[in-house]
Amino acid sequence: MPTRVIANTLKKFFFEIQAYFTLAWRAVVQIFHPPFYYREFVTQLDKIGVGSLFIIILTGLFSGMVMALQALIQLKPFAATSYVGGMLAVSMIKELGPVLSALMVAGRVGSAITAELGTMVVTEQVDAMAVEGTDIVKRLVTPRLKATLIAMPLLTIVADTVAMLGGFMIATGYHINATMYWSSFGQFIFFQDFIEGVAKPVVFGFIVAMTGCYVGLNTSGGAEGVGKSSKQAVVVSSVMILAADFFMTKLFVVFRQ
């Protein structure tokens, strides 16, 4: 009996994986085929990008300030506090900026996408659209995917920039010369680091959008089901983001060698 339960669980898991990537493939393919639903795309870009700007700025500011403070404490015994800017830059651009921004967006946007689509499913709006001949993936999923793929790298760049400014504020308070702070970036940051800092948010944005859409479109159980789906989308997205971050970091390390 336990063996049968395990087999059924694994079977269900792999079916879910297959359905997830099938939906993702259809959404990606539809990006390049009309109609493009520009109005829906702009609406989603405003909700995902502009709507997340405030929380991203706060995240970047306090992350940069904390990282600079910790770096100053660790570097002070070695009389190397002039390198705090470079250390902060490489930490934020390669790791903390993309990951923290993605987790914030997953909590705010991923849950909203799931709740919106889940509500449409349980109120049978999605079924009505399908009866009218509307392509559900193209109408509901693709605009959200495109908006997230564009907004996520931009939000990460904002978070990184604000973090650098927040770190500069802390460094100034500890009497670190401004020229030393900014010039240390070149000693730690290389072109590949910028590529990594932009590539990761694109992948994370894909995960947030597709997980939210997939879970939302498979919602059942009324209002209670919508709540459960929103929670599930955030948890799954967060775990997938952290896992993807590890594998992408490993991949970039291999390419650097």
What's the pLDDT at 36?
85
* This prediction's pTM: 0.93
What's the pLDDT at 144?
95
Average pLDDT per run of 10 along the chain, which is 257 residues long? Answer: 76 89 94 88 93 95 93 83 87 93 94 93 89 89 95 96 94 86 85 91 96 93 88 94 95 83
Q: 3-state SS string over the chain?
A: CHHHHHHHHHHHHHHHHHHHHHHHHHHHHHCCCCCCCHHHHHHHHHHHCHHHHHHHHHHHHHHHHHHHHHHHHHHHHHCCHHHHHHHHHHHHHHHHHHHHHHHHHHHHHHHHHHHHHHHHHHCCHHHHHHHCCCCHHHHHHHHHHHHHHHHHHHHHHHHHHHHHHHHHHHHHHCCCCHHHHHHCHHHHCCHHHHHHHHHHHHHHHHHHHHHHHHHHHCCCCHHHHHHHHHHHHHHHHHHHHHHHHHHHHHHHHHHHC
What's the pLDDT at 223?
81
